[in-house]
Amino acid sequence: MNDLNNKIIDWSVPPRSTEIPVFLAPESKKTQLSENSQLLHFYTDIHPLVSFKIVFHKGTSEEEYSGISKVMFELLTAGTDSKSALDFATELDYLGASLNFTESKDYAVCKLDCLNEVFDNAFELMKDALFNPKFDELEIDKTIRKFKSAKEQEEADSNYLSTTAMMASLFREHPYGNPEYGYSDEIEEFTRRNIKNCWESYIFGARISIIVTGNMNKETAHKYALELTNQMADDVYSEEVDNILVREQNKLVIVNFNSSSQSVISVGKPTINIKHENYAGLSLINVIFGGYFLSRLNHLIREQKGLTYGVHSSISSAVHTGLLGVSTSVNLDKTREVVSDILEEMSKISNEMLEDDELQRAKNYYLGSFLRSAESHKQISKMLTTIALNDLDDDYYNQFYRKIKNIRSDELFSTQIDLFKPEGLSIAIAGNEKKLVDQFDGYFDRYDILDKEGKILGRYENNN
């Protein structure tokens, strides 16, 4: 006890707090623009900024040649019918605006961020890029060369190699297993015609959600959105993609990365996706498992053993599956020990009901993260994107918040048993092949050596 400024402070206990503020999801409006397009809008005038996002409900898992979407989107700003690549970039930079295209397995996004007062000019540039790309042969050559170099650089990154190997091993035969930068032998198919087909499949053949957040009122957002959707999504089709098959047996794959004194471990396990009723429970268990600093994995591997700078687990949701993933970089010599720790922690969490203290701590963290997640119009844009992509209720985040707040440990236990058993895992390690093979001798019956694109190069079988 100390006497400070005439006030007695008990330094030995943390200060008491008042009631946590209630989270209320930002009030957005959803409007159907046409059979295949919708607008989600949220207005705030705190900053003079606007985020305008076009979400294509179609991603690289539907592309004809792996990697071609990346090249196609890059080409949209590399010259239009009326502007060279330089003119386009200069005009955009003049506005202090940014226009980005990103693609993932299930969807692609065109995102324009700028000050509200230049929005009209920036919007015209975005429209030009979307509807009038020139796909000039010279620019195509240049862009493919850049793509190849970027692919080469990514393949020098052990994190990329480990993730690619994990996805390939887990989702082999399914497009989710394709490497982000595609397969080298498909690059020759990146012809002007195929690139143009790819462009048409997104612009005219995909459902569209437009997400507008920030300092733009609903009527104006609606006007701009209609200007786009009147020309888009008029021939929507969706390819049938098989559901994911789940294996029971764990699988170890190694991708050689000789020059590193560390190894990168990626563990993956297919799980439920965001539409499943237990998704909130799964997300909460993941927080305890490896989703925050106080998680079991971080406590053991970083804070107790000091074997890593960080170890994280995450849940990602896709259309055809969900993925529980763990990733970490560790000293090469300690790789087997850390893999064992991860599996052991999975086993524990799937066998034992959670203690109330641990659960409450994770809940508090999770509930607080809701408050922090709605600070800016860009964060709100992300929330609306999730709602749009998964056709969730407008009230989804409020419902999710209530579920997390009220769920009990006995209600979570069946989800722990079902979804955290260390079975059906893909354990991918990027590191020195020889040392890893020595370390893992006898650990699994067999393991595969993969190349940089996730293709099988060879197989080791244990003799014992």
Smallest distance from the beta carbon of 284 to another protein, in angstroms? 14
Which one, of 179, 250, 251, 262, lies nearest residue 436 by Cα? 262
Smallest distance from the beta carbon of 423 to another protein, in angstroms? 29
Smallest distance from the beta carbon of 214 to another protein, in angstroms? 10
Smallest distance from the beta carbon of 10 to another protein, in angstroms? 9
Which is nearer to another protein, 14 or 442 (by Cβ)? 14
Distance CA 197, CA 203 (A): 10
Which is nearer to another protein, 239 or 356 (by Cβ)? 356
Residues 6+ apart with CB under 8 A from 55: 107, 108, 109, 208, 209, 210, 211, 385, 388, 389
Which is nearer to another protein, 150 or 456 (by Cβ)? 150
Which is nearer to another protein, 257 or 440 (by Cβ)? 257
Please identify which residue in the block is written with the tokens 């440990």.
Answer: 409
Which is nearer to another protein, 108 or 330 (by Cβ)? 330
Distance CA 50, CA 335 (A): 46
Handedness of CA 89, 93, 95, 99 (dihedral sign): positive
Q: How many Cβ atoms from other residues are within 10 Å of residue 372's Cβ? A: 9
Q: Which residue type, as a one-letter code, is found at position 3?
A: D
Q: How far is CA 168 from the centre of its chain?
A: 17
Smallest distance from the beta carbon of 87 to another protein, in angstroms? 5
- What residues form DSSP beta bridges with 80? 133
Smallest distance from the beta carbon of 71 to another protein, in angstroms? 14
Q: What does 55-121 look like in DSSP terms, one character per residue?
A: EES--GGG-SSTTHHHHHHHHHTS-BSS--HHHHHHHHHHTT-EEEEEE-SS-EEEEEEEEGGGHHH
CA distances from 458 to 122, 254, 374, 429, 449 (A): 51, 10, 48, 15, 5
Smallest distance from the beta carbon of 194 to another protein, in angstroms? 22
Which is nearer to another protein, 96 or 458 (by Cβ)? 96
Which is nearer to another protein, 315 or 362 (by Cβ)? 362
Q: Which residue type, as a one-letter code, is found at position 169?
A: S
